[in-house]
């Protein structure tokens, strides 16, 4: 039977593949990765066993986001309503948070809302 397996004598080499995608555009401590892949001379990817492991490069890591996210408003849980029917009051807590490029989250002081 003839198999579609490259011959061991075929010239193969290591090359870093495409970068993985970043899930966010700001604020999270996340990296993208470029992994090594074993290729034949014609550019076809083959299993790693066909390449010399001594020459296999390390994967490359690069930070995804080097900028902080803009501040955002977050709401907490709401209180029970002050009455069971008719007009009543309900209160909730609103905070302003800022996610920095290193992944830390900073609570910001409240500001007066402008209508």
The per-residue pLDDT for range 79-96, each reduced to its tens digit, is 888 888 888 888 877 777
φ, ψ (nearest 5 deg) of residue 95: -125, 155
Q: Buried b vs exposed e over 39-75: b needs ≥16 C-beta within 10 Å? A: bbeeeeeeeeebbeeeeeeeeeeeebbeeebeeeeee
**What is the rounded distance in angstroms from the CA atom of residue 105 to the CA atom of residue 84?**
38
Residue 45 lies in a domain: yes
Query: Which carries the bigger pLDDT value, residue 9 or residue 79?
Result: 79
Residue 26 lies in a domain: yes
DSSP secondary structure, the chain, as one string: -------TTS-EEEEEEEEPPPS-SSSS--EEEEEEEEEETTS-EE-GGGS-GGGPPPPEEEES--SPPPPEEEEEEEPPPS-SSSS----EEEEEEEE-TTS-EEEEPP-PPP-
Quick check: 35 pLDDT over 80?
yes
56 and 28 together in one domain: yes
19 and 58 together in one domain: yes
pLDDT in tens, 61-73: 988 867 777 777 7
Q: How many domains does the chain have?
A: 2
45 and 78 together in one domain: no
């Amino acid at each position: 039977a003839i198999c579609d397996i490259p011959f061991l004598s075929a010239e193969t080499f290591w090359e870093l593949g495409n970068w993985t995608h970043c899930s966010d555009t700001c604020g999270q401590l996340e990296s993208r990765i470029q992994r090594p892949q074993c290729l034949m001379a014609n550019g076809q990817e083959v299993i790693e066993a066909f390449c010399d492991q001594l020459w296999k490069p390390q994967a490359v890591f690069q930070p995804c986001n080097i900028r902080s996210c803009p501040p955002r408003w977050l709401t907490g849980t709401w209180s029970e309503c002050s009455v069971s029917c008719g007009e009543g009051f309900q209160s909730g807590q609103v905070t302003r948070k800022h996610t920095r490029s290193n992944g830390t989250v900073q609570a910001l002081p409240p500001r007066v809302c402008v209508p």
